[in-house]
Amino acid sequence: MTKKRIVIALAGNSNVGKSVIFNHLTGMHQHIGNWPGKTVERAEGTLHFKGYTVDIVDLPGIYSLSTFSIEELITREYIAIENPDLVINVVDASVLERNLYFTLQLVELETPMIVALNQMDMAKRKGVKIDYKKLEKILGVSVIPTVAPSQVGIYDLLQESIHVIEKGDAVPSKISYGEEVEEKIQELTELLGRLHLPYPARWVAIKVLEGDEQLEERIRQIDPKILSTARKLAEEIESIHGHLCSTVITSERYEAAGRIAREVQQIVQPVNPPFRERLHALTTNKILGYPIMAAVILSIFFGIFSFGDYTSGLIGDFLYSFEPIFLNIFGTGIAGDLIWGGAVEGLIAGITIALPYLLPFYLMLYFLEDSGYLSRIAFLMDNLMHKIGLHGKAFIPMMLGFGCNVPACLGCRIMETERERLLAIFVVTLVPCAATTVIILGLVGAFVGVE
């Protein structure tokens, strides 16, 4: 068999473990960049498997394929236009209904796909049992249960992907909407079929009924008559249901997702929810939430600064022990002074200020983020953050900013709109970072400290 190149894309909601799967698949062979002209990260990686060179593309985490955000637009353009050989839809088994809502939209895009039913362990802990064979049958695509952090199912996922690509029949069975809506979709699909758009006609029909501006614009350039027909059909749906057409279609799609979820999952006794629930209730408590938050943040800063102070002293002492050797070589003249006092001492200062403070800060922040506590802080701080024109979520990059402004600015990508992203970035750059804080404290000590 000759070496062939195939492209697999990972798609799914945010926080479903897509990146973990991506890391396991590609290991160190990754390339992180940006989507052309966009502030959205594009992660790509390569692996070799059974004589294939496989390119893996990690698409941004999104909930829908409407064009509410740039991430959604990027994903659907990528899938529809660049046509990857296969899309692996990563699904959070513990929040099946919402994840299937996205799965159904991929199904509508008529892309070859398989489903990675991830976080099976989490689902089990929440008391959700899923019959993945049944899900396979309903969706018409392969479903592989996985637990990404412990690498369960990753090999199977890859093997099944290759198998499906070789067989070439991964196009899933489509879902149908309620009678009145379905009629209109079909009428519109027929009209759109003649336009030869790069997207599946049925999907375009659904999107145009939902009022997708981007697609409407495209169609207007070719045949504006179709748009007026679409508008008429949408208004008919609106008059029957009494809601916006996009609302009707969204709820019907959600109903379908809910039906599938109820059919394949069985709710049993959760393994150990009370502790997690209690912790959640405590950390977002009306009264106790704030002192807990203050205590956590203060103890983190206290811990970091006392640890940093101690290790910074150690490293400093160690590095300064080279001073006599150094001055022996270069002498105590102007050359020695310049090299030691100018270059080496500057380097030492950099190392002793940045390293001992930054490293533990990031470790702590990683722990906070991973445990989900940062989102609780965002929840508590939302109102206050709104007072300075920011979303509660901006608290997370702001915390990061206390470590270093550069990753904090990068972290602002979690904000959803361009406007919020920019605002957060501006504010973040005003936060004194760890190194700045040390200097500030030093200067304060030097100028206003007691003798």
Partner 1 sequence: MELPLTQLKEGESGIIISISTPRRHGYGRHGHTWGFQRRLEDMGVTPGTKVTVVKSAPFHGPIELQVRGSRLAIGRGMAERILVRVER
Tokens of 109: 């895009």
The stretch near partner 1 (CB under 8 A) out of 22-30, 95-103, 197-205, 350-358 is: 95-103
Residue 261 binds to partner 1 (criterion: CB under 8 A):
yes
Nearer to partner 1, 156 or 183 (CB): 183
- Helix (H/G/I), strand (E/B), else coil: 4: strand
Residue 432 binds to partner 1 (criterion: CB under 8 A):
no
Cα–Cα distance measured from residue 159 to residue 47, given in angstroms and rounded to the nearest whole number: 13
The stretch near partner 1 (CB under 8 A) out of 179-187, 241-249, 310-318, 405-413 is: 241-249
The stretch near partner 1 (CB under 8 A) out of 39-47, 176-184, 250-258, 423-431 is: 250-258
Q: How many CA atoms lie within 13 A of 260 on its CB side?
A: 28
Residue 115 has phi, psi (to 5 degrees) of -110, 130
Nearer to partner 1, 63 or 330 (CB): 63
Of residues 105-164, those binding partner 1 (CB under 8 A): none
User: Do 380 and 289 contact (CB within 8 A), yes or no?
Assistant: yes
Contact pattern for partner 1 over residues 368 through 397, marking x by CB under 8 A: -----------xx-xxx-x-----x-----
Nearer to partner 1, 57 or 95 (CB): 95
Q: Please report which helix (H) or strand (E) contains residue 443, including its range.
A: helix 434-448
Cα–Cα distance measured from residue 66 to residue 12, given in angstroms and rounded to the nearest whole number: 14
User: Do 45 and 25 contact (CB within 8 A), yes or no?
Assistant: yes
Interface pick for partner 1 out of 166, 182, 190, 213 (rule CB under 8 A): 213
Contact pattern for partner 1 over residues 264 through 303, marking x by CB under 8 A: -----------------x--x-xx-xx-------------
The stretch near partner 1 (CB under 8 A) out of 37-45, 183-191, 211-219, 442-450 is: 211-219
Tell how strand 86-92 and strand 41-49 pair up: unpaired
Residue 229 binds to partner 1 (criterion: CB under 8 A):
no
- Helix (H/G/I), strand (E/B), else coil: 148: helix
Residue 66 binds to partner 1 (criterion: CB under 8 A):
yes
User: Do 252 and 241 contact (CB within 8 A), yes or no?
Assistant: no
Nearer to partner 1, 281 or 443 (CB): 281
Nearer to partner 1, 190 or 213 (CB): 213
Q: Please report which helix (H) or strand (E) contains residue 221, including its range.
A: helix 213-222
User: Do 84 and 249 contact (CB within 8 A), yes or no?
Assistant: no
Residue 247 binds to partner 1 (criterion: CB under 8 A):
yes
Interface pick for partner 1 out of 101, 199, 340, 402 (rule CB under 8 A): 101
Q: CA-CA-CA-CA torsion for 388, 391, 393, 398, nearest 10 degrees?
A: -30
Size of the site for partner 1 (CB under 8 A): 41
User: Do 57 and 49 contact (CB within 8 A), yes or no?
Assistant: no
- Helix (H/G/I), strand (E/B), else coil: 430: coil
Binding site for partner 1 (CB under 8 A): 63-64, 66, 68, 95-98, 101, 209-213, 231, 234-235, 238, 243-247, 250-251, 254, 258, 261, 281, 284, 286-287, 289-290, 379-380, 382-384, 386, 392
